[in-house]
Amino acid sequence: AVTMVDLYPKESWNFVFGLASLTYGVGVFSFARYTDTFYRTPPSKDTTENYICTDVTAKLLWRACKVMTHESAHVWIKHCVYHNCAMNGSNHLAESDRRAASLCPICLRKLQEALKFDLADRYRTLVKFCEGSLTDSQTPLSEFADFGEWLQKAITFLESKQYTTQVSRRPR
């Protein structure tokens, strides 16, 4: 589920950007705190009537994709403590902004094992999104440029002879 209402799963928590369940395979994402207007006039914790309505900017879309990646992956994997990873936890906006957009090698392998996808195919599709090929012409994608370049380098490596030689030498 996606909402522009601020989320508070427990009275003792101040908020969450999203929440997902490994057990039930569901998640909810709130983009309320990712807008520039939220911190000027935050909604009341006691009401869901004061939701945020805002224009979709490149920054909001970038933040939304990162939190959706994080929470969606929670259906299969837990928080990461090993690397800078999309699965790192975050407790405030600056920490969320610093979180990587991609999974670290450990979490990527866990997700790949669970979903059985071809990594190069996945990255090629993500590059198409970053370039705007999978969206309408009005979608603001300027925040995705660096990630698209990183994905393209990863694809080049995955398709290289160096990589395929290393993979074929691994014990099965």
Would residue 143 show up in a list of annotated catalytic residues for this protein?
no
Q: Where are the alpha helices (DSSP H) in 46-144?
A: 58-73, 93-98, 105-115, 119-131
Q: How far apart are CA 81 and CA 168, in angstroms?
A: 29
Neighbours of 45 (CB within 10 A): 11
Residue 107 near residue 115 (C-beta atoms within 8 A):
no
Consecutive H or E run containing 30 = strand 26-30
Q: How far apart are the first and last CA of the chain?
A: 39
Given the residues 71, 95, 113, 131, select the one marked as catalytic: 71
- Catalytically active residues are 71
